């Protein structure tokens, strides 16, 4: 599934995956940057709390965005697939400057939103310039290939990652979250072994990748981002490994970037400022 086609002379919106547990009170650098990217206090932001099972998740983010100066922040309670046909929700997305998807369980996002008019609207509006951010589960859901679950650990194995279709805002990246805190390098490597055309992004908590139109990214936040580039992968044993066995991957390239770091998808070059 390719991202929706952009309209001539129209820049795509940013894609902003966040590793979860973003700072919300003392120095909310990521959320401040998201608000600024969307146009500041006059921006219209839609909040999608579908991934969360907690009733107050959406309202808490709505209050938070209002504290950050946003005048028009609204929760879209998309609990069922029927809700994703709501004319009211679709109209708000149609006029939104940004969408924020909360954390929780990414399978709740994919099974509720996947293939619905809301998912189609998110893809189309992002192609038209609307910015889409997601934290934790919301981040994992963004690309074409979504890590739906898996196991902790450093060495990849065939059963370490479970994959499912994501929203499809980009097909250049596979994203994992809470990365260093939950020791998830093995499952991201496993996902890349199944899909070696993609770049892996491992997001630490309170860390975001602001992916510009054209898929160049900048790191914002207090942690790091692990970039795994399989472009020159020369050997993979994924095809012969059994469940639980380690997988050999040779000639991967790995970068660790912190705030201000950049990665260019076209050249596969990393920079740290």
Contact criterion met (CB below 8 Å) for 92 and 72: no
Domain hosting 21: range is: 15-271
Query: Residue 1 falls within a domain, yes or no?
Result: no
Whether residue 217 is predicted with pLDDT greater than 80 in this model: the reply is yes
CA distances from 200 to 64, 68, 91, 151, 228 (A): 30, 31, 34, 17, 5
* Residue 3 is assigned to a structural domain of this protein: no
| C-alpha torsion angle, residues 5, 10, 11, 16 (rounded to 10) | -60
Which of 62, 144, 205, 218 is catalytic? The answer is: 205
Does the pLDDT of residue 97 top 60, yes or no? Answer: yes
Residue 5 lies in a domain: no
Residue 46 counted as domain residue: yes
**N-terminal to C-terminal alpha carbon distance within the chain:** 34
255 flagged as catalytic = no
Give the pLDDT confidence score for residue 1 in this predicted structure: 63
pLDDT band at 3 (very low <50, low <70, confident <90, very high): confident
CATH number for position 121: 3.40.50.880
What would the pLDDT profile of 15-62 be if each residue is shown by its tens digit?
999 999 999 999 999 999 999 999 999 999 999 999 999 999 999 999
CB proximity list for 240: less than 8 A, separation 6 or greater: none
Neighbour-count burial of 103, counting CB atoms closer than 10 A to its CB (0-12 exposed, 13-18 middle, 19+ buried): buried
- Which candidate in 52, 136, 157, 236 is catalytic? 136
Say which of 131, 145, 172, 178 is annotated catalytic: 178
The model's pLDDT over 129-169, given as tens digits with 9 standing for 90+, comes to 999 999 999 999 999 999 999 999 999 999 999 999 999 99
The answer to whether residue 250 is domain-embedded is yes
Residue 10 within a domain: no
Number of domains forming the structure of the chain = 1
> Within a domain: residue 8?
no
In a domain, residue 42? The reply is yes
């Amino acid at each position: 599934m390719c991202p929706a086609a952009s309209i001539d002379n129209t820049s795509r919106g940013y894609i902003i995956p966040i590793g979860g547990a973003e700072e919300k009170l003392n120095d909310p650098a990521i959320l401040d940057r998201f608000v600024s990217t969307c146009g500041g206090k006059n921006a219209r932001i839609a909040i999608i709390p579908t991934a969360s099972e907690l009733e107050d998740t959406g309202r808490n983010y709505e209050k938070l965005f209002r504290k950050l100066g946003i005048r028009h922040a609204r929760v879209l309670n998309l609990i069922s697939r029927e809700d994703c046909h709501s004319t009211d929700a679709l109209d708000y997305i149609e006029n939104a400057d940004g969408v924020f998807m909360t954390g929780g369980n990414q399978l709740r996002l994919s099974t509720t939103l996947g293939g619905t008019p809301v998912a189609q609207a998110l893809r189309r509006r992002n192609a038209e310039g609307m910015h889409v951010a997601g934290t934790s589960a919301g981040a994992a859901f963004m690309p074409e290939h979504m890590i739906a679950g898996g196991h902790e650990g450093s060495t990849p194995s065939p059963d370490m990652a479970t994959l499912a279709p994501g929203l499809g805002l980009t097909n250049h990246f596979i994203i994992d979250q809470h990365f260093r805190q939950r020791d998830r390098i093995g499952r991201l490597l496993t996902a890349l072994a199944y899909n070696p055309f993609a770049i892996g992004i491992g997001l630490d908590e309170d860390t975001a990748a602001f992916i510009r139109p054209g898929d160049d990214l900048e790191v914002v936040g207090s942690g790091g981002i692990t970039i795994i580039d399989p472009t020159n992968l020369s050997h993979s044993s994924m095809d012969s490994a059994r469940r639980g066995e380690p997988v050999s991957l040779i000639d991967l390239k790995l970068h660790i970037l912190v705030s201000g770091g950049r990665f260019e998808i076209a050249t596969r070059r990393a920079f740290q400022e």
